Amino acid sequence: MIHETLEIISQPGAKDGEQIIRLTGAMTIHTLFNFQSAVRAETAGALILDFSGVTYVDSAGLGAIVGGMLSYQKAGRKFLLAGANERVNALMAMTNVRKLLQSYESVELAEASLG
């Protein structure tokens, strides 16, 4: 079995109160725990997940994304996803997560949606 990795880099967004988490690799049952920790550690009013470097998401990874989104919504904060590839978009559409999650083609478009 190939051991997946997920690189996580957190950096400030273009405006105050925005944070971007850039992800590179696969989000799976083996890599989601560091993702969950990174999302929980953020306190910004708006969090953008840059998925442009994510190659694959399994059902456990998708659950971690939804869990992060729900935590942010309960706290009255914004949770956005940007740059997901066709494979990830297909998974989100098939599972109806697309209807729940604000998703954009790029980080720039996600930031613009915040005003």
Task: Give the mean pLDDT of the chain.
Answer: 94
Only one residue has tokens 């980080």, namely 107
The single-letter code of the amino acid at 1 is M
pTM of the model: 0.93
Q: How far is CA 63 from CA 17, 70, 73, 112, in A?
A: 25, 10, 15, 27
pLDDT tens-digit series, residues 24-63: 999 999 999 999 999 999 999 999 999 999 999 999 999 9
pLDDT(1) > 50? no
Q: Residue 44: phi, psi to the nearest 5?
A: -65, 155
CATH superfamily of this structure's domain 6-113: STAS domain (3.30.750.24)
Non-local (6+) Cβ contacts of 67 within 8 A are: 36
